Every structure is written in structure tokens, then in C-alpha cells.
């Protein structure tokens, strides 16, 4: 562990580490373009120059190893003059695109110029012209004139996705970034090159010209697209409805978490947020007619209470979604499974999909493992097809479906039959679908970015999701609806919010013991689970989906299958 001094402060840094890494441990930021902690070191942008005593030349801090007794100055006049000269060189052929560039406001060329540039330009020659606004894939646009040849995107494609689409061609001031002949940037992680591009050379087609970044608000959450539950920042607008056709969410960006997704996320998760603002349920409906929450809660609680009083709680069925939070699944367990003896199951809304050995998981649900720990994990617990069969046979009189479009399991003809057979048929969820249409009560509930709570990802890590903005229109959080139902059933619970519900959960369910929102923090905590529990959760989800597909196949023999929305 060599000891060195940076800007007058001593630090021990592991042998083989670099000056830029040691400086970061001290909270000293050294500007960089080509350096990225998740990629190999290229050392070609030269903006990270520092002065090292006893060395006559400035050194690039990204590729200078620490040594015992080294003394480094990051803010000396010599270091800043060197960076200013490099910046002038990088900007020599850079176009004055700031007024029309999507990177404006979060561009390191702008930031570094304002921090230590402010020079009088000496370049008077004609700038080199290159190709502009070239679509190089379904999500990414390339502007060669803005590229400073940092090679981050090249290294990402070579080292992370190993698809190797990018190269730097030609020499001198004619050098340019491009794709190899016959290549297209359409790998499953393609949009990450936009995140790591320090300038406006690579921009998102989906976000292009929709909003200036200073109009955006940001909130941390996790992706609900699969069991990896990648950490992300959601960028949204609430006070400018003309942006993005009135939608609130404009983009998602990966948020660093060393134990989950590092700096990356897949394109499917990045662009899978459209359902949050489109096709939403916005009103409580009874038999297709607009109603109110007060009437719905009172009527549903009265019907459930009558079944409980008659000693027929087992004639109540609940199909919960693994898109629900742990707090909501815990309430379902306490109210229905334990409190009423109801038939409860939790399943993902869609069958397994594509997967790889990096981030993408076949289980397209963020909380399958949490559901296993909280709801009907005992052998012989009912599956969705079992509950639906019992409902069709009259052995279940009341059915509450959380989040699922049942046309994933049965065809619409069977859904109509369920609507006629059941005495009480409730759907609570986010988006319009056939199940919402055929249910007796349709309750609009909040999307995961509109409420607080936690998920347990496929590796057994519990993470907070966080509320970015309030529920849309008349929607309510599922936990709020469940607490109101419990109150109407004369089984009031002392909890008032997800944080308090989680405290109760942690006391009642062993794997969560001792945890709190503060302990979970922004990076999550690994639960103390045996490996068999994690494996069995994935196996259970696959088996459940396979059984559901088989049931749907049999049902389709009697009529056409109405497709459900892709949302949870």
C-alpha cells in the first residue's frame, strides 16, 4: 500500500492503482474523457494531466501508477495550463452545436471549459466536416463532428458486450468514429454507449429533442423489467405537459451499483417504461360504470366479510403479482392468507423470456423471490390455473386479481365465464386490459414508480424502489387500498405507510429480520438466504409460467385469445 500525497493530503492506495483512483478516494475530481472505471485504460484524451514532483513533464493520472512518496498536484498552474491546452486542441474541430445538441447541460466539454478553460481561441482555419445525425442502430444516433475520439464506446463494444461494432478510422484530424462495414449497433445493451459518451457524439433517438436536461427531475428507483432489478435513475417532467406528448417519464439511466448492474442496463429495461403513462386505468369502475373509491371499498369489504363470517374464507381466491412490493405482498398474506384462510398465489404476469450471462434474466419480474418468501411458499400452494379452475367450478366465490391480465392464462371466453360465475370479481392494476373490462370492480392502482416499497431480486438482494411522483389521476397505491379494506373488515392495522409496514414485515418474516429502510439504503442489502431458496424461486417462476401457458393453450381451443397489454 504505497503512501502518496495529493494536493497536500496523504493517502494509502493499493499497489497497481492509479493516481486518478487515489484522488477519487480523497474526493478530488480530476477531469477525464477517455477514462471510465468500468473499461480498460486508453490514455488518449490527455485531459487528466497532473503535476508530479521530480518529474519534468505533466502526467496523465488515469495511467500513472501510484508509488511510495509520490507528491501530486492536481490544481497547480502548470497542470491547469496543460489541461487548457488539451481542451483547446479537442475543441479545434468541434462544431458549435451547443444550442441544438441534446448533450447540452450535461456535456463535459461545456463543464470543463467553464471550470478551467475560458481561453481565447486561436484556431482560425476551416473546421473539418464529417457526417452528422447518422442512425447507427434502433436507439443511437451518431454525430461524427462532435466526437473527441475518447474510444469509450469502442472499448464498451469490445470488452462489455463483446460485439465489436465500433472502430476509429483514418488518421490525424481526419480520424473519425464509425461502425465496421456491414455492422449495425443493435446489441441488447446498445444505448449504454450514450451514457458513457462524454460529449454529444452519441445521442438517444428516443430522447432526441424532447427536452433540455435542466427541465428534468430525477429520482432513484430500480428497473421492474426482470429479476436482476437494475438500479436506475428515472428522469421525468411534471409541469411541462407539452413535452413527450404529455407523458411524465422521458428517459431512464443506469445508476451505479457494484452488486447489481455496475454502470449498465439493457435496452429492454431502458425503453420499457411507456406503459406508466399510456393506457392507464384512471377511474374506479363497477360493472363498467364509473364509481368511487368509497363505494368500492365498502362494497368489496362487505362481500368479503360475509364470506368470512360464514366460515367460507377458503372460497376467496387471490392472485397476486410479483410486480407488487414486499410490503403489499405482506399485507395480502396478513389479510387474506392468514386472516381469512383465502386461497392465495403469487405469479409473474408473463412467461420467461430471453436471458444472457450478464444482466438480462429470463424471469421478467422484479420480485419473484420476495413473493416466494412472503406468499404461499409451502408445498402444495395453489397455482394460478388451479385457482381459476376452482373459480370456474364454483368452489371459489370471490376472486381478487392484483396486476394480472388473465388472458395470459386463459382466453377471453373463459374470462367472460369467470365474470358470470363469480359472486365478486375484482381487478386492481395499472393498465386497461380485458380482465379490467370483465371484472365486477376495476380499481386503478399506482405504478411502481408512484409508490414506496421494496423488491427482492433474483440474487436475494432487497432494494428500495422509491416514489418518483404521485399516482396518476385517481389511482391509489395497492398498500393503501389493502389497509382500507382491512379497516372496513374490522381488522385495522397500525401501519400508515410502507416504511411502517416494512417494520412489521421484518418482525414477522425471518429473512427480513433486523432490516429497515435506513439499513437497506440506496444500494440494497443481500438477504441471508440459502442458495437453494434463490434457485427454487427461479424454478418455481418457470414452472408456473409453463403451467399457465399450457392452460392458456387448452383454453384457446374454445375461442380466440385476446392479447393482454405488455404492462404489469
Architecture of domain 3-90: Roll (3.10)
CA–CA gap between residue 69 and residue 392 (Å, rounded)? 79
Residue 547 has pLDDT above 60, yes or no: no
Of residues 530 and 534, more confidently modeled:
530
Three-class SS state of 492: coil
At 413, the pLDDT band (50, 70, 90 cuts) reads very high
pLDDT exceeds 50 at position 563: no
Whether residue 488 has pLDDT greater than 50: yes
pLDDT in tens, 454-463: 999 999 999 9
The pairing of beta strand 441-444 with beta strand 285-286: antiparallel
Bridge partners (DSSP) listed for residue 177? 168
Count of other CB atoms within 10 angstroms of residue 35: 25
Helix (H, G, I), strand (E, B) or coil at 177: strand
Return the closest-CA partner of residue 140 out of 81, 200, 90: 200
- CA distances 23 to 18, 28, 30, 63, 403, Å, are 9, 5, 8, 13, 48
Entry pTM: 0.89
Please give the mean pLDDT across all residues of the chain: 90
Domain range summary for the chain, segments of one domain joined by +: 3-90, 285-558
The dihedral region occupied by 208, where left means phi > 0, alpha psi between -120 and 50, and beta the remainder, is beta
- What's the pLDDT tens digit per position in 501-516? 999 999 999 999 999 9
Q: Which pLDDT belongs to residue 568?
A: 46
Q: Answer yes or no: are the C-beta atoms of 313 and 341 closer than 8 Å.
A: yes
Nearest-angstrom CA–CA distance, 215 and 240: 8
pLDDT band at 537 (very low <50, low <70, confident <90, very high): low
Rounded to an integer, the average pLDDT of 45-68 is 95
Calculate mean pLDDT across residues 258-272. Answer: 96
Report residue 548's pLDDT band, with 50, 70 and 90 as the boundaries: very low
Q: What pLDDT, on the 0 to 100 scale, is given for residue 564?
A: 33
* Predicted confidence (pLDDT) at residue 566 exceeds the cutoff of 90: no
Q: Which residues contact 515 (CB under 8 A, 6 or more apart)?
A: 462, 502, 506, 525
Radius of gyration over every alpha carbon of the chain, rounded to an integer in angstroms: 28
The rounded distance, in Å, linking the Cα atoms of 516 and 524 is 11
Mean pLDDT of 229-253: 89
Q: Which fold has domain 285-558?
A: Rossmann fold (3.40.50)
User: Is the pLDDT at 378 greater than 80, yes or no?
Assistant: no
Lowest mean pLDDT among 189-193, 255-259, 362-366, 535-539: 535-539
pLDDT (0 to 100) of residue 555: 36
Amino acid at each position: 500500500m504505497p503512501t502518496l500525497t495529493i494536493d497536500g493530503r496523504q493517502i494509502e492506495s493499493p499497489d497497481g492503482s492509479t493516481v486518478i483512483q487515489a484522488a477519487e478516494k480523497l474526493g478530488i475530481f480530476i477531469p477525464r474523457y477517455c477514462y471510465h472505471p468500468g473499461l480498460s485504460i486508453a490514455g488518449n484524451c490527455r485531459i487528466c494531466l497532473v503535476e508530479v514532483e521530480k518529474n519534468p513533464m505533466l502526467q496523465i493520472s488515469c495511467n500513472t501508477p501510484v508509488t511510495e512518496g509520490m507528491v501530486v498536484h492536481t490544481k497547480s498552474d502548470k497542470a491547469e495550463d496543460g489541461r487548457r491546452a488539451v481542451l483547446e486542441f479537442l475543441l479545434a474541430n468541434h462544431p458549435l452545436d451547443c444550442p441544438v445538441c441534446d448533450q447540452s447541460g450535461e456535456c463535459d466539454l461545456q463543464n470543463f471549459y467553464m471550470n478551467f478553460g475560458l481561453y481565447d481561441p486561436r484556431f482560425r482555419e476551416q473546421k473539418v466536416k464529417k457526417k452528422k445525425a447518422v442512425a447507427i442502430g434502433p436507439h443511437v444516433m451518431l454525430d461524427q463532428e462532435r466526437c473527441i475520439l475518447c474510444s469509450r464506446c469502442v472499448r464498451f463494444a469490445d470488452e462489455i458486450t463483446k460485439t465489436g461494432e465500433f472502430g476509429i478510422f483514418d488518421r490525424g484530424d481526419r480520424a473519425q468514429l464509425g461502425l465496421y462495414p456491414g455492422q449495425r449497433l443493435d446489441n441488447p445493451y446498445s444505448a449504454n454507449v450514450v451514457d458513457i459518451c462524454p460529449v454529444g457524439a452519441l445521442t438517444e433517438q428516443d430522447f432526441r429533442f424532447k427536452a433540455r436536461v435542466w427541465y428534468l427531475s430525477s429520482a432513484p428507483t430500480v428497473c421492474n423489467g426482470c429479476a436482476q432489478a437494475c438500479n436506475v435513475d428515472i428522469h421525468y417532467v411534471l409541469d411541462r405537459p407539452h413535452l413527450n406528448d404529455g407523458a411524465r417519464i422521458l428517459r431512464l439511466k443506469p445508476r451505479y451499483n457494484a452488486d447489481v448492474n455496475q454502470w449498465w442496463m439493457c435496452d429492454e429495461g431502458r425503453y420499457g417504461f411507456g406503459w406508466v403513462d399510456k393506457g392507464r386505468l384512471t377511474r374506479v369502475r363497477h360493472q363498467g360504470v364509473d364509481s368511487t373509491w368509497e363505494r368500492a371499498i365498502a362494497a368489496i369489504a362487505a362481500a368479503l366479510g360475509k364470506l368470512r363470517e360464514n366460515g367460507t374464507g377458503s372460497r376467496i381466491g387471490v392472485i397476486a403479482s410479483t410486480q407488487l412490493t414486499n410490503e403489499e405482498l405482506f399485507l395480502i398474506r396478513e389479510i387474506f392468507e392468514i386472516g381469512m384462510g383465502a386461497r392465495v398465489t403469487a405469479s409473474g404476469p408473463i412467461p420467461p423470456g430471453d436471458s444472457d450471462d450478464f444482466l438480462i434474466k429470463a424471469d421478467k419480474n422484479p420480485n419473484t423471490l420476495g413473493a416466494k418468501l412472503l406468499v404461499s411458499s409451502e408445498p402444495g400452494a395453489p397455482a394460478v390455473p388451479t385457482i381459476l379452475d376452482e373459480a370456474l367450478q364454483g368452489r371459489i366465490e370471490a376472486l381478487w386479481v392484483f396486476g394480472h391480465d388473465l388472458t395470459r392464462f386463459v382466453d377471453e371466453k373463459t374470462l367472460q365465464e369467470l365474470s358470470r360465475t363469480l359472486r365478486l370479481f375484482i381487478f386492481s392494476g395499472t393498465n386497461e386490459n380485458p380482465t379490467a373490462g370483465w371484472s365486477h370492480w376495476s380499481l386503478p392502482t399506482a405504478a411502481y414508480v408512484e409508490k414506496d416499497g421494496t423488491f427482492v431480486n433474483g440474487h436475494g438482494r432487497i432494494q428500495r424502489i422509491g416514489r418518483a411522483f404521485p399516482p396518476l389521476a385517481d389511482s391509489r397505491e395497492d398498500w393503501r387500498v389493502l389497509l382500507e379494506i382491512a379497516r372496513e373488515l374490522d381488522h385495522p392495522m397500525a401501519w400508515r405507510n410502507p416504511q411502517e409496514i416494512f417494520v412489521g414485515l421484518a418482525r414477522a418474516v425471518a429473512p427480513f429480520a433486523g432490516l429497515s429502510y435506513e439499513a437497506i439504503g440506496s444500494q440494497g442489502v443481500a438477504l441471508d438466504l440459502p442458495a437453494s431458496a434463490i434457485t427454487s424461486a427461479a424454478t418455481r417462476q418457470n414452472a408456473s409460467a409453463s403451467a399457465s401457458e399450457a392452460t392458456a393453450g387448452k383454453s384457446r381451443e374454445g375461442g380466440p385469445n385476446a392479447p393482454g397489454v405488455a404492462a404489469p
